[in-house]
Amino acid sequence: MSLLKSIYIVGLFVSIALNTTQPVKGQEQSNSNSSSVDVVNESGEILQRNIPSARIYKIWDDRPAPNRGADFNIKKARGYPYDEDWELHSYPIGNGFMGANIFGRTNMERIQLTEKTLANEGLYGIGGLTSFAEINLEFNHENPSKYSRSVNINEAIAYVHYTHDGVAYKREHFISYPDNILVIRLSASKKGKISFTLKPEIPYLRDSTQKNSRTGQMDVNNNLITLSGFIDHFSENYEGQIKVINQGGTLTASQNGDKSEISVSKANSVVLLVAAATNYELSETLFLEDVHHKKLNPENLPHNKVSKRIKFAAEKGFEQLKATHLKDYKSLFSRVQLSFYTETPKVTTRKLLQNYQSGTNHPYLEELMFHYGRYLLISTSRKGALPCGLQGVWSQYEVTPFTGGFWHNINVQMNYWGAFNTNLAETFTPYVEFFEAYLPKAKSLATEYLRKNNPQALITDSLDNGWTIGTGTTPHKIVGPGGHSGPGTGALTTKMFWDYYEFTMDTAFLLKTAYPAIKGMSRFLSKTLIPYGDSLLLVYPSASPEQKQEGNNYITAGTTFDQALVWENHNDLLKVAEILNIEDEFTDLVQDQITKLDPIIIGQSGQIKEFREEQYYGEIGQKQHRHISHLCALYPGTLINSSTKEWMDASILTLDLRGNNTTGWAMAHRMNARARTGHGEKAHEVYSKFIKERTLPNLWTTHPPFQIDGNFGCMAGVAEMLLQSQEGYIEPLAALPKAWSSGEYRGLVARGNFETSVIWKDGKATSIEVFSKSGGICRLKYKGIADAALKSILGKAVKFQSSAADSLSFLSEKGKTYVLTFGGK
């Protein structure tokens, strides 16, 4: 059979079996020409994965972000200043290195720029993200008509459209990851109608005599404005360049200190290119150096790298820059499709949210929030950049709330919970790079911790004491555990490394990164355990994150948080040892210790105890505390599962007792935990509450103030409701709520590196497709699955084994796709 003929047959089969080529009623189709049919050879091996056309997702409004002035916007949220116009109404774009917030104004446009490595003294003196610059564009277009602003999530491009004096104006904004450049194009329906003045600002300048000193200056050279300066806390140099490229018209520049500007008059179109950088370098030395002003080299200037980026981008031109950006971004975003078969609402995103908050729960918004989360993750976490912090890659503040850093008692982990199952594993790479840089310091912190808390277990050579990490972490400093969070924080971190392996089956990563990280953490945790009674080992000192008693951190022995996470890390190490065929004395020690942890205890209220000495629920700590740290063994851990029914029932009760009246990210954790219990209605209930109470008009989520972990946590929760794989088998629609009675998804990933696609109707799957990216045994669990027909993508029957009506398994081949259809063989 010819290749073309086989492709035709495959396409016919896929369109019949999966119906993915037919547009869903009410969906707005993209202008993509890609087919939903994969290109395969005669044996069914995938030669090219083609992505089906998808509806266009966007956040949009019919009016600019408000401009109510500094007096209105200087408010406080949990003690931190926040700008309501920026936080609630601006639209974010980013590429991991830089972020920009677009306000869409027509009189004086504001584009606020963040560069992730720019930091000042910040909170507690440990450093914190700070705003880089303000890019103001003065158009003086009063009272426009036909106004709209949006971010096309399928493209990662922000648009502003309006008509003024009979001319239709258009602005496009994107930040390219490959070129690391912010690109803005201004165009009009008539020639010679683009006139504006560029008026940039360097915010928060303070001379060297003031706290949080920051100096800066602006220089104009023809069509280029350079913003540069110095922040003394970390000896950090920074520079940004804005290049104005006009087609037609005239350009004039004015050098006048902080009032420097460039004016364009009567141009046909204009492109602005913006690059920014600092002298920050991620390195082991950075974390090992304890004196803050010695962490960076003040002799290093970012001028040359910024200039090269601007020069290259200018030579490349707008169309090529845009094409490069789209190819890169879509290669990630387009991997996953999800639709609940809803009409695309005609109202603005702001109004859609208002309606939802008033009781009109539209599943489209729940669907949109999922896609928006993936957009934000791609925009904030890319290889070579710093990981995603509390505010992603966006901050307009001098002192960003909670530093904007990487808080390790749940927040940074939550940022990456959905990276793996939503097919964005590459976005975890920045954390791996960050880990490799801070690891030597983390090893010394382990030695310091043990010297203070368990000196008898200390080995003089710090390399033999493992490594550890505590909660408050920034791009410049890490700390050890203590205070309000116990040593289990480190194991909550290594869980991400094990998950990365399980979802990608990347053995090179397992050998180089995951195994050393997990083993080093087990080595440290093994030394935090103190003999208790005749047979137990308990972590001491131990704390359940941020729980207090009578106003003080509650320090005890063997909290569920610490015991369960020691079990999780030890168990993951034993799994790695089995995969790699490792037998040594330390593995034997771990095998012995894991049997003595007694990690989960049920109390007199039927609850999972948070503390060993607790009898009835809530007698220690806050009953409705935002953290559910004692349920980390349920999610993201796996110790509590369907085979431990008593523990699972106690977890369900504990979630009921804890309640959902909490902060943003904490609702997201509850949502994922509910999904793990299989209770789709309960998971959906907290998701709906999250949208109603903790989601802002621009769909950012709030702690308060704004924290992006809520966006990522609920994105992970949606995926967890639709696909689970933590118990050794793939379970589609594991926690499907009635609100999502019909729909389809494509491209979610299960452990074992199985890319999974499902169509369901009236709450029941009609077809399940599995693309085996690594080969191996594929185990599936779904009601009545043993009666489904299992075929290759070419329609050839595939043999499988089934021990029960709801399960089957088969040996998959790498690169091949398998389709199960229901309704008779």
Per residue in 724-749, pLDDT tens? Answer: 999 999 999 999 999 999 999 999 99
What DSSP letter does each residue of 91-120 carry, written as one string? EEEE-SSEEEEE---SSEEEEEEEETT-EE
**Rounded mean pLDDT, 587-613:** 98
Q: Is the pLDDT of residue 120 over 90?
A: yes
d(Cα 428, Cα 405) in Å, to the nearest integer? 16
**Rounded mean pLDDT, 25-35:** 33
Q: Would you place residue 3 in the very low, low, confident or very high pLDDT band (cuts 50, 70, 90)?
A: very low
Q: Is the pLDDT of residue 506 over 80?
A: yes
Q: Considering only CA atoms, which of 519, 538, 512 is closest in space to residue 464? A: 519
Looking at residue 735, its amino acid is A
Q: Would you place residue 21 in the very low, low, confident or very high pLDDT band (cuts 50, 70, 90)?
A: very low
Q: Is the pLDDT of residue 32 over 60?
A: no
The pLDDT of residue 74: 62
Q: Is the pLDDT of residue 41 over 70?
A: no
Which one has a higher pLDDT value, 19 or 662?
662
**Rounded mean pLDDT, 73-91:** 80
SS3 for 769-781 is EEEECCCEEEEEE
Looking only at the bridges linking them, the beta strands covering 816-821 and 754-761 are unpaired
> HSE (CB half, 13 Å, CA atoms) of 473?
33
d(Cα 381, Cα 623) in Å, to the nearest integer? 35
Q: Is the pLDDT of residue 12 over 80?
A: no
3-state SS class at 402? helix
The pLDDT of residue 37: 47
3-state SS class at 722? helix
Whole-number average pLDDT of the chain? 92
**Rounded mean pLDDT, 589-617:** 98
DSSP 724: E
pLDDT in tens, 316-352: 999 999 999 999 999 999 999 999 999 999 999 999 9
Contacts of 185 (CB under 8 A, 6+ apart): 171, 172, 269, 270, 271, 272, 318
pLDDT in tens, 654-683: 999 999 999 999 999 999 999 999 999 999
Q: What is the b/e burial string over 727-759, where b = at least 16 CB atoms within 10 angstroms of the residue's CB?
A: bebbbbbbbbbebbebbbbbbbbbbbbbbbbbb
Q: Is the pLDDT of residue 22 over 70?
A: no
d(Cα 623, Cα 808) in Å, to the nearest integer? 42
Length of the chain as a residue count = 825
Window from 93-97, 391-395, 430-434, 801-805 with minimum mean pLDDT: 801-805
**Rounded mean pLDDT, 704-708:** 93
The pLDDT of residue 111: 98
3-state SS class at 807? strand
d(Cα 710, Cα 635) in Å, to the nearest integer? 15
Residue with tokens 């008033």: 358
Q: pTM higher than 0.85, yes or no?
A: yes
d(Cα 112, Cα 100) in Å, to the nearest integer? 5
DSSP 238: E
**Rounded mean pLDDT, 237-246:** 98
Cβ contact 440:447 at 8 Å: no
Q: Is the pLDDT of residue 810 over 50?
A: yes
**Rounded mean pLDDT, 361-369:** 95
d(Cα 763, Cα 739) in Å, to the nearest integer? 9
**Rounded mean pLDDT, 590-614:** 98
Q: Considering only CA atoms, which of 226, 307, 303, 224 is closest in space to residue 271? A: 224
3-state SS class at 18? coil
Give the tokens for residue 490: 């480190």
Neighbours of 595 (CB within 10 A): 11
The pLDDT of residue 39: 55
The pLDDT of residue 209: 80
Q: Using a pLDDT cut of 70, give the percent of the chain over it.
A: 91
The pLDDT of residue 38: 53
Q: Is the pLDDT of residue 53 over 60?
A: no
The pLDDT of residue 78: 63
Q: Would you place residue 45 in the very low, low, confident or very high pLDDT band (cuts 50, 70, 90)?
A: low
d(Cα 117, Cα 279) in Å, to the nearest integer? 9
Q: Is the pLDDT of residue 77 over 70?
A: no
Q: Using a pLDDT cut of 90, give the percent of the chain over it.
A: 86
What DSSP letter does each residue of 171-226 carry, written as one string? EEEEEETTTTEEEEEEEESSTT-EEEEEEEE--S-B-TTSTT-EEEEEEEETTEEE
